[in-house]
Structure 1
Amino acid sequence: MAAVEAKERESERTCIVTRRREPPEGLIRFVRGPDGVVAPDIRARLPGRGVWVGARASLVAEAAKKRMFARGLKEQVETPPGLAEDVDRLLEADCLQMLAMANKAGAVTAGFNKVEGLLASGGAAVLIGAADGGADGKRKLHQAARRSGAVWRENDGVPPMVGLFTSSQLDLALGRTNVIHAALAPGGPGASFLARCRRLAAYRGVELDGAPLVAQMMRDVQPEAEGRAGEAMEASGSVAAEDRKLDE
């Protein structure tokens, strides 16, 4: 166990923005391109010296704004405008490319009725709902998953739902038209697609289904809530003091 933990720590990299060490899966690597411009290396395969940034759009934007890439790479580099958006497009394309590969491998089922049938047999590992599709269809698929009696380990007993891509993007990836609902079978292609989608969702700061990230929303409102709680406690203390004066 200790040897495994030590090996995991060795593989960790340090984010140049937060200075926190994380596994490579939670970071994005950047290198200096031949033209002297900072280039994202989302698969961490490009040669040469690289630096790592936490896989969040806000962190990439901060690294660009504060010129941290030059310091980390220890040489003059040009940071292109819109670098954070470029990374988003690359991560998105990586997901859709994996979806296309899964489709070629026969691991994708498209169409509401077909996906519903796959759920009934317990054969769906990942669900896809177009970002511009209706919420009613996604809800019905979740209901079908629960009726099937199959047990999934997450998402309250239903397969994870990916809602990061529009219908037109799904059309292109799957070579079909009007794709609103799809599902991936258990196995390597589905797992690889899901891992890439989780990375994209984390980068965008949203849930896997495209909804606002609840945890982030809670962090955003926590300071305000704490401030209100402090004001309430202060007011309560003032009232108690006045009560004591009246008792005297």
Structure 2
Amino acid sequence: MTERKCILTGDRADPEMLIRLAVGPEGQVLPDIRAKAPGRGAWIGVSRAELETALAKGKLRGALARAFKTNDLAIPDDLPALIEDGLRRALLDRLGLEARASMALTGSEKIDVACRKGQVHLLLHASDAAPDGNRKLDQALRVGQEAEGTDLAGITLPVDRHALSMAMGRDNVVHIAVIDSRAASRLRAAIGRLESYLGCVTGTPAQAEHGSADAAGVSG
């Protein structure tokens, strides 16, 4: 798809990094996270905090009225929260799909072995994972990627172990290792989209620079 323009900033970006808003049959404005709803859409590429400010000051209503060419719109007060929930659900759904396709491992011991063998393309930690457990697996990842002495590490997700367990269909999922490069790329995109909206980046520079090995790191 071609680039889309954010109705609030005027900036253009890949649709996969933006959020599409669509209008329902009764004029309600709702997030269209997968960009599949019919009809005209409007795109935003701002953080949740920026969206909340635009909503409170009426800037969002004006931008939407211009985009949809009508003032007859119902904008829910909890639109920012609905978008966050949708992005988080999209990430969890993607994790579930990759798990069912046998692209992901769980269990600290299995992940440790896979990391040390250089088989892990993306390492993920739950938001409530113990720091010691994270450090151990991060070190195993660096060993397997021949990156000892760097800050290469897994991503701490803005999702807790309960949500990860539900998504993966397994008990007590605290860490996830993605062992397929294409699956890792798909997950990086979903994670980056959520993190951008939340205004946080949990990946480290080393992760982005370690592209030769597709190591852990990091719709319109």
Which has a greater percent of helix? 1
Counterpart position of 1:125: 121
Residue type of the partner of 2:12? R
Give a deviation string over 1:163-205, Cα, whole Å, max 9, x none. Answer: 2210101110111111111211123223212210111011101
Following the alignment from structure 1 to structure 2, what is the Cα–Cα distance between the partners of residues 12 and 157?
33
C-alpha distance in 1 between matches for 2:141 and 2:161: 22
Give SS of 2:99's match. helix
**Cα deviation per residue 1:203-238 (whole Å; 9 max; x = unaligned)?**
10112369xxxxxxxxxxxxxxxxxxxxxxxxxxxx
Partner residue in 2 for 1:56: 47
Structure with larger RCO (C-alpha < 8 A, sep 6+): 2
Structure 2 stretches lacking a partner, 5+ long? 205-220
Does residue 148 in structure 1 map to residue 139 in structure 2?
A: no
Deviation at residue 91 of structure 1 after TM alignment: 0.3
SS of the residue aligned with 1:52? strand
Q: Is the 1:14–1:52 Cα contact (8 Å) retained in structure 2?
A: yes
What residue number does 2:191 align with?
197
TM-score using structure 2 length: 0.82
Structure 1 letter corresponding to 2:185: A
Task: Please give the secondary structure, in 2, of the residue aligned with 1:168.
Answer: helix
CA deviations on 1:134-160 (whole Å, 9 max, x unpaired) are: 1111111111122224469xxx46364
8 Å contact from structure 1 (residues 126, 183) kept in 2:
yes
Q: CA RMSD in A?
A: 2.1
Instruction: Give the total of aligned pairs.
Output: 198
Q: CA deviation at 1:47?
A: 1.4
Q: Quick one: structure 1 residues 201 and 34, their matched pair in 2 at CA, closer, same or farther if it must change by over 3 Å? A: same
What is the rounded CA distance, in whole Å, between the counterparts of 1:157 and 1:120 in structure 2? 16
Deviation at 1:26, TM superposition (A): 2.5
> Bigger radius of gyration, 1 or 2?
1
Say which of 11, 29, 45 aligns to 1:38.
29
Q: Which residue of 1 aligns with 2:165?
A: 171
Structure 2 residue matching 1:30: 3-state secondary structure: strand
Structure 1 gap ranges (5+):
1-7, 211-248
TM-score, normalised by the number of residues in structure 1:
0.73
- Say whether residues 1:27 and 2:15 are aligned partners: no
